[in-house]
Amino acid sequence: MAKVVVLGSGFAGQTAALNLRKSLKKKDHEVTVITPNKKFGYVPSWVWVGVGKMDVSETQFDLAPVYKKKGINYVNGLAKEVHVEEQFVTVDLLDGGSEKVEYDYLINATGPRLAYDMTEGLGPDHGHTVSICTPNHAAEAGEEYLKMVERMEKGETVKMLIGTGHGMATCQGAGFEYIHNIAFDLEQRGLLDKAQIKWISNERMLGDFGVGGMVIGKAGHIVSGKIFAEASFMEQGIEWITGAAVTKVEAGKAHYKTVESSEVQTEEFDFAMLIPAFAGVPIKYITKDGSDITGDLCAPNGMLKVDADYSSAPRGFDNWRKEDWPLTYQNQTYKNIYAAGISFAPPHPISKPAASPDGTPIVASPPRTGMAAGIIGHVVAMSVADIVNGKSSEPEHTASMGDFGAACVASMGKSMTRGSAAVIAMYPVVPNYEKYEYGRDMDATFGDQGLAGHWLKALLHHLFIYKMKGKFGWWLIPD
């Protein structure tokens, strides 16, 4: 009997667990999920929770009944140590005590540690900004936002600052959705003139999103993503600061440096939502003699190294290639350990790195959430299942970010009659300038915006919650 353990229950982890259970006979093999979460959370809809347009309960469901029905073992706790030679995970249980969980194959799909601490004063718990990165934080952000609405209804002018809170943050897309949903909601309330809304981001330019920007094929024309993003901001009267690293946040003030200047500048705010840097979830990797080899197996940010070319980063942007990116997500030291989703260490950014004159790094880190996380979780699960079932001895399913595409439906206002969303598809995620003139296949890279996009966004909410519950035919819904 093979024991396959998945760490995490987000898009990558849940996709991996469901595919493993579908592919491995229950009577012959065990599938176990270790997660501190009691509920699955549909992250893309937290942007609506953060503006008070959706209750957080609508974005979640209990994991235990799903795992029981599927025959997946469920350990509700925090994975603390992976004993790589003795092949077990030590877990601090949420209800108290600890447990040792044995494995033959391990998939790290823990997602990120939200590293608010990397920017002094950032975050909702010990800082001065709100967040939409967890369900509870998104609900709190919605409450704080509605307080701003009350102030504006009384005639006050409110300053709002939205974007990224660190020079190497990722998930600019979530901030982009949030700022547009705020502007849309205020416009619907007749309060947009009472808000001074500003975007601040580590992107080199608007529309970069950590993927090096893009050009979009539309109606036979090539349109810059930068122009699209700037036009959407100007339409709502949103100002922007790009190429910025927020270095410190105080009550009502965000301090930052830019690629042009090391001089600390300040933006005042009444309300701020700034995405933090992401780091690896703190799990130690331990050998039989008790040695801690975490520093060998993980990148400095704590994310697990896989089959990427980590020697490629020093070569510089002009010498980066799609071949730098992992194919199988298998750790090359302990080949029964894999990483999926945000948990794997990328070899380098996708966007061109920059820094302030004093050397403070300013570059959007590669996004690996959502669709990408699902694709990678699926591929890793199928490779492990094939090995367990004796169909192969090495992982044969691949999903390089330089070979697969991604689609994004970015909400720009929630309303079934007046709402809008930008629908963007790109192929591949990592640009390939050797093969394509613009880095991507323009026959498969396109975008549009409108009410139909919002309907699609609402439909995906229900489809993916259905899929993540593992209901009948769930596997027919694409990752």
**Is the confidence at residue 220, as pLDDT, over 90?**
no
**Is the confidence at residue 343, as pLDDT, over 90?**
yes
Q: Which of 356, 254, 345, 255 is nearest to 307 (CA)?
A: 345
Q: How many angstroms separate the CA atoms of 76 and 20, rounded?
A: 19
Task: Tell me the pLDDT band of 215, cut-offs 50, 70 and 90.
Answer: confident
Q: How high is the mean pLDDT of the chain?
A: 96
Within a domain: 244? no
**Is the confidence at residue 217, as pLDDT, over 80?**
no
Residue 441 pLDDT: 93
Per the CB < 8 A criterion, the answer to whether 207 and 214 are in contact is yes
The tens digit of pLDDT for each residue in 375-412 reads 999 999 999 999 999 999 999 999 999 999 999 999 99
The tens digit of pLDDT for each residue in 140-164 reads 999 999 999 999 999 999 999 999 9
Within a domain: 376? yes
Residue 202 pLDDT: 98
Non-local CB neighbours of 371 within 8 Å, separated by 6+ positions: 406, 407, 408, 479
Within a domain: 444? no
Dihedral angle, C-alpha 146, 120, 246, 239, nearest 10 ° = 20
The tens digit of pLDDT for each residue in 91-142 reads 999 999 999 999 999 999 999 999 999 999 999 999 999 999 999 999 999 9
Residue 12 pLDDT: 98
> Residue 203: what are its φ and ψ, rounded to 5°?
-65, 145
Within a domain: 419? no
Give the predicted TM-score (pTM) of the model: 0.96
Within a domain: 334? yes
Query: Domain with 373 in it: what CATH number?
Result: 3.50.50.60
Tokens of 234: 């100007």
The tens digit of pLDDT for each residue in 176-208 reads 999 999 999 999 999 999 999 999 999 999 999
Within a domain: 125? no
Within a domain: 240? no
Q: Give the number of domains in the chain.
A: 1
Domain that holds residue 291: 3-113+278-357+366-388
Within a domain: 177? no
The tens digit of pLDDT for each residue in 396-452 reads 999 999 999 999 999 999 999 999 999 989 999 999 999 999 999 998 998 889 999
